[in-house]
Amino acid sequence: MNLSRRQALALGGAVVTVSLIPIDFAKAASDATMADIKTFTGGASVAEGGIELTTPEIAENGNTVPISVSAPGAVSIMILADGNPNPGVATFHFSDMAEPSAATRIRLAGTQNVIAVAKMADGSFTQTSRSVKVTIGGCGG
Amino acid sequence: MAKIKPRVKVPKSVAAGEYFTVKTLINHKMESGQRKDKKTGKKIPRKIINYFEATFNGKPVFSVDIQPAVSSNPFFQFSMKVEEAGKLAFKWVDDDGSVYETAKSIKIG
């Protein structure tokens, strides 16, 4: 590939811009994600902590990213991928025979935050999120 | 498509009241509805497993509402405990209405 000096500089600038974006995204989830959380919680306030989400820090292949989640006392846990075309991933439901923990493999379209929201037996909600770097995206292609 | 065959891994015998791990896998393409056919440029329609459920002697244990962001050949792992022997049944529901089922018997001891 032959790059002129001008092109090379433009490319470098683009890379810097892209690498800055995730910092802004770290806090605020997308509107679609917030809407999904609201549907799940019915508008109730969501606390932080009390739920553990395990994801790889870097996923080579966004088509199968192993994740596991556990939240003592939870009856349901919803998993969301903030940067996917549709943020919903899966919702686990636990009866009293099951331990409130589960593992699965999910698709991530790109580097993004994975969010877990747990509904506790007493009706309260708690959430956590983890950022996953994806080298090759897993949607479309 | 290859014949859909569910696979589950459950201990043959377990201790009463102690948690054990259950692993399940089913071969399914989980077509997300986002992909395009390279030749025609049209979107390939969504076809996924949208629900998974495990029941023990008819009582619910664990279930999942599944969306297209779950990988192909969906894998689920969970932990459960039982107080008596019985049958652990698994059910997967496809978008086209097909239901795939399998079951394992669990002994105490």
Please give the interface size between A and B, counted as residue pairs whose CB atoms are below 8 Å apart: 97
- H/E segment holding residue B64: strand B59-66
pLDDT at position B3 over 70: yes
The alpha carbon torsion through A116, A74, B99, B70 (nearest 10 deg) reads 10
Measured in angstroms, the CA of B12 and the nearest CA of chain A are apart by 18
How far apart are the C-alpha atoms of A104 and B24, rounded to whole Å? 10
Measured in angstroms, the CA of B105 and the nearest CA of chain A are apart by 16
Measured in angstroms, the CA of B107 and the nearest CA of chain A are apart by 16
Measured in angstroms, the CA of B91 and the nearest CA of chain A are apart by 14
Do B77 and A140 count as a contact with CB atoms less than 8 A apart? no
Query: What pLDDT does residue A70 have?
Result: 96
Cβ burial of B74 (10 Å; 0-12, 13-18, 19+) is: buried
From first to last of its 141 residues, chain A has per-residue pLDDT tens of 566 766 666 666 555 554 544 444 444 678 899 999 999 999 999 999 899 999 999 998 999 999 999 999 999 999 999 999 999 999 999 999 999 999 999 999 999 999 999 999 999 999 999 999 998 766 654
Do B76 and A106 count as a contact with CB atoms less than 8 A apart? no
Nearest to B25 by CA among B76, B60, B66: B76
Query: What pLDDT does residue B14 have?
Result: 95
Across the interface, of A88, A94, A98, the residue whose CB is closest to B67 is A88
The tens digit of pLDDT for each residue in B66-79 reads 999 999 999 999 99
Nearest to A90 by CA among A72, A103, A100: A103
With respect to CATH, is domain B6-108 assigned 3.30.1200.10? no
Using a CB–CB cutoff of 8 Å, tell me whether B51 touches chain A: no
> Residues of chain B with pLDDT > 90: what percent?
84
Task: Average the pLDDT over B62-89 and give the result.
Answer: 96
Determine the 3-state secondary structure of B14 from DSSP: strand
Residues of chain B contacting A64 with CB distance shorter than 8 Å: 71-72
Query: What pLDDT does residue B109 have?
Result: 82
Any idea where the domains of chain B sit in the sequence?
A: 6-108
Is the separation of the CB atoms in A68 and A56 below 8 Å? Answer: no
Do B78 and A99 count as a contact with CB atoms less than 8 A apart? yes
In this structure, the strands spanning B13-14 and B99-108 are parallel
Across the interface, of A90, A97, A101, the residue whose CB is closest to B70 is A90
pTM of the predicted model as reported, rounded to 2 decimal places: 0.84
